Amino acid sequence: MQITNHLLKGCLLVVGLMLYGCRAYFHQPTKLEQARLGEETTFSEELRSLPAPKEALATAVYKFRDQTGQYKPSDNASWSTAVTQGATNILLKAMEDSKWFLNIERENVSNLLNERKIIRSSMSQYNKAENDVLPPLLFAGMILEGGIVSYDANIITGGAGLRYFGAGGSTEYRQDRVTVYLRAIATRSGKILKTVYSSKTILSQSVNASLFRYVRFKRILEAETGFTTNEPSQMAVTEAIEKAVHAMVLEGIKDGLWAAADADSTRTKEQIKLYEEEKKLMALTDVYGIDNAVERPRISLMPYASAFKLQGDYQVPSWQPGGGVQLNAQLTPNWGLIANGFRSSFSTSTSDRTFTLKRNWRNADLSVVYMALPFQKYSPFLTAGAGISQVSPLNDFSADTKTFHFAKAGAGLEVSLTKYLGLRAMMDYYWMTTDMVDGVKNGQLNDSFLRVSVGTAIYIGKASRKRVLPLPAN
């Protein structure tokens, strides 16, 4: 029966991990597939939804190259490039889908000119009339240049796993990033009209599960399964290029370089408004896609409630309620000072409960605080400082009051709820400079205290952000 239970647990774990990524697992390629039309990206529909142009822009693209020089990450030697070498074709397709550009062949213009020479030669041999000569080639009023400028591998990696008595599973993920730059150049003057850039992450993830179990004497059960999904880099490059073309069109409309059709004026205004909002959001977003839009004020006041416990020479300490107030002053976005006042009591007993020591406690301390993520909603923080405390008999600070000194360190998490309000949870550890806080000296370690607190942060004053915000749109 015990063996059966272990097998059941292992099988359930394997099945659970399989179902976690069932889309890939249940669509494994087991037969040949026919050729099909190319897939669209998640941005293709938005590119086609651009307002119609007043007049299509005659545009040439000579070369849109891979400028990264990157090769695919591999455990073995590999000369395969990390991104596609046919980005020019992707750009021309994106320009065509936007319906804003009249594409003119320039990448292989030598082939085009040679073919026109052949046509002229053939026509001259048949003495065609002069009005049947080839029409002139179109010239471009604008050139689009740029390229794939960056491929960053493994910007984020991670995973998790669990194994219990030979049954377990794990998952891993990796994220890469590709960046595209695109610029528009006026052919008459050579002036660079506009430059935009976009980026796209590339996700790879794997899930696997295995089971290894002795089911009986000389009988071993082994099972393993798993799958890996890799986002195609070509699709990521395509989406980044489509985003760049979309941004180029809207930037040109906004700056008056070209115009949308009058019939689509309402849609044009809506899309430009959404584009401006996205630009403001991206100005506050880091490379990992984390929004850094929170602006914590320099000063905050935090009343809090605590649970307080002595770790001394008696065997049975107990938690006691307490409370206090903190004043936090941020000198920089990351570093600040905390002035703290706290009042509570502590209680500790002998192992047989025949004696219980109860005392009042109050302390004041000053700490340095480090905010790890000052511009994000959730910010872990660390504190370290020192202070002074007073201990007296219960409910009477006037009689037999003793003063002690301590050092402290702590960690916690602050959540910014609104512009004026936040929540903070923290844990602090007090190292006393003496072993006589509980009146007993025993062993080599001094007495110490543990405090767990939850409070409300009330923000006061101006934000501590020290960075240049984007200028408002005209």
Classify 460 as helix, strand or coil: strand
| Confidence tier at 218 by pLDDT (50, 70, 90) | confident
In this structure, are residues 188 and 226 in contact, taking their beta carbons and an 8 Å threshold?
A: no
The mean-pLDDT minimum among 240-249, 320-329, 364-373, 440-449 falls in 440-449
Find the CATH number of the domain harbouring 408: 2.40.160.20
**Beta bridge partner(s), residue 381:** 371, 412
As a whole number of angstroms, the distance between CA 333 and CA 376 comes to: 11
196 and 324 housed in the same domain: no
The answer to whether residue 470 sits within a structural domain is no
pLDDT value of residue 217: 83
E strand residue ranges, 135-249: 142-164, 167-186, 192-216, 219-230
**Cα dihedral value 131, 137, 140, 143, nearest 10:** 180
390 and 455 housed in the same domain: yes
Point out the domain boundary residue: 218, 250, 283.
283
pLDDT value of residue 127: 66
Average pLDDT (366-393) is 92
- Tell me the residue length of the chain: 474
Helix (H) or strand (E) holding 110: helix 109-125
Find the CATH number of the domain harbouring 269: 3.40.50.10610
Please check the confidence at residue 245 and state whether its pLDDT lies above 80.
Answer: yes
pLDDT value of residue 469: 43
| The residue type at 253 | I
As a whole number of angstroms, the distance between CA 338 and CA 367 comes to: 5
In this structure, are residues 170 and 159 in contact, taking their beta carbons and an 8 Å threshold?
A: yes
> SS3 sequence, 281-318?
HHHCECCCCCECCCCCEEEEEEEEEEEEEEECCCCEEE
**Six token digits for residue 68:** 């990264």
Mean pLDDT of the chain: 86
328 and 212 housed in the same domain: no
Average pLDDT (87-116) is 93
As a whole number of angstroms, the distance between CA 386 and CA 407 comes to: 4
| The residue type at 9 | K
179 and 321 housed in the same domain: no
102 and 146 housed in the same domain: yes
274 and 355 housed in the same domain: no
pLDDT value of residue 470: 42
Per mean pLDDT, which of 69-83, 195-209, 393-407 is the most reliable?
Answer: 195-209
Helix and strand numbers, DSSP H then E, in the chain: 7, 16
As a whole number of angstroms, the distance between CA 275 and CA 245 comes to: 13
pLDDT value of residue 290: 75
195 and 316 housed in the same domain: no
**Six token digits for residue 443:** 């062993």
218 and 326 housed in the same domain: no
333 and 391 housed in the same domain: yes
Question: Measured on CA atoms in the order 150, 151, 153, 155, is the torsion positive or negative?
Answer: positive
Taking only the tens place, the pLDDT of each residue in 13-52 is: 555 545 555 555 556 677 788 888 888 999 999 999 999 9
The answer to whether residue 28 sits within a structural domain is no
pLDDT value of residue 265: 87
Point out the domain boundary residue: 283, 309, 344.
283
153 and 211 housed in the same domain: yes
Taking only the tens place, the pLDDT of each residue in 149-196 is: 999 988 999 999 999 888 899 999 999 999 999 999 999 999 999 999
Classify 319 as helix, strand or coil: coil
As a whole number of angstroms, the distance between CA 237 and CA 234 comes to: 5
The share of the chain scoring above pLDDT 90, in percent, equals 51
Give DSSP secondary structure letters for 382-451. EEEEEEEEEEEETT-SSSS-EEEEEEEEEEEEEEE-SSSEEEEEEEEEEEES-S-TTS---SSSPPEEEE
What is the CB-side half-sphere exposure of residue 210 using CA atoms within 13 A? 10
Return the DSSP state at 48.
H
Total number of domains in the chain: 2
The answer to whether residue 304 sits within a structural domain is yes
The answer to whether residue 130 sits within a structural domain is yes
As to burial, measured by CB atoms within 10 angstroms (0-12 exposed, 13-18 middle, 19+ buried), residue 334 is: middle
List % helix, strand, coil for the chain (3-state, nearest 5): 20, 45, 30
Average pLDDT (405-419) is 93
The answer to whether residue 397 sits within a structural domain is yes
- Phi first, then psi, for residue 73 (nearest 5°) are -60, 130
pLDDT value of residue 165: 86
**Six token digits for residue 158:** 């991670």
In this structure, are residues 172 and 158 in contact, taking their beta carbons and an 8 Å threshold?
A: yes
Taking only the tens place, the pLDDT of each residue in 300-316 is: 999 999 999 998 878 88
Please check the confidence at residue 374 and state whether its pLDDT lies above 90.
Answer: no
| Confidence tier at 75 by pLDDT (50, 70, 90) | low
Please check the confidence at residue 333 and state whether its pLDDT lies above 70.
Answer: yes
The answer to whether residue 240 sits within a structural domain is yes
Point out the domain boundary residue: 283, 315, 340.
283
| Confidence tier at 404 by pLDDT (50, 70, 90) | very high
221 and 128 housed in the same domain: yes
As a whole number of angstroms, the distance between CA 417 and CA 164 comes to: 40
Contacts of 234 (CB under 8 A, 6+ apart): 83, 84, 90
346 and 227 housed in the same domain: no
The mean-pLDDT minimum among 249-253, 313-317, 381-385 falls in 313-317
As a whole number of angstroms, the distance between CA 103 and CA 245 comes to: 13
Contacts of 112 (CB under 8 A, 6+ apart): 105, 137
User: Which domain covers residue 97, as residue numbers?
Assistant: 2-22+45-71+82-283
- Look-up: residue for tokens 């320099």? 298
The answer to whether residue 165 sits within a structural domain is yes
